[in-house]
A = this chain, B = another copy of it.
Amino acid sequence: MRVPIDPRYNDYDTRGHVNNAVYLTYFEIGRHRAWQALTGLTDDFPFIMMEASVRYVSQAKWGDPLTMDITVAEIRTKAWVWSYRIIDPRDERLVAEGRTVQVMFDYEAQHSMRIPDHIRARLSNG
């Protein structure tokens, strides 16, 4: 799934590059967009982050357009993995890539839970 990114001026730091931490915010935008598109759940994000990683491949400067490809890379019993690629769509240059692992979480009861079957089926399409 391709998700557009709308870079903001204050995403860039004194070097004129997108700040390294901002990529996790970009991943979050993609993750929420993809979750909503796949599950139809637009207000509820019943999962909690376990791991995140980013590999910085090339510099994103002010004025470079950015977009993101996001896919479900793996589904486990309670957790699943999103994989992200941030690219400059003018030439498909890879800017950064990464993955996050999140676990299904019951925020009321404050514990992790199995991924429900209907969610699992939807995520399989991602």
Residues of chain A at the chain B interface (Cβ within 8 Å): 6, 8-10, 12-16, 19-22, 24-25, 28-29, 32, 42-43, 48-56, 59, 62-63, 100, 107
Contacts and interface: CB of A to CB of B under 8 A. Distances in A.
B56 A20 contact: no
Contacts of A9: 13-14, 19, 28-29, 32
Which applies to chain A's interface (DSSP): helix, strand, loop or mixed? Answer: mixed
Contacts of A52: 20, 53-54, 56
A25 B21 contact: yes
A42 B21 CA distance: 21
25 contacts: A6-B29, A8-B25, A9-B19, A9-B28, A10-B19, A10-B22, A10-B25, A12-B13, A13-B13, A13-B14, A14-B15, A15-B107, A20-B49, A21-B21, A21-B25, A24-B24, A24-B54, A43-B63, A48-B56, A49-B56, A50-B55, A51-B53, A51-B56, A52-B53, A52-B54
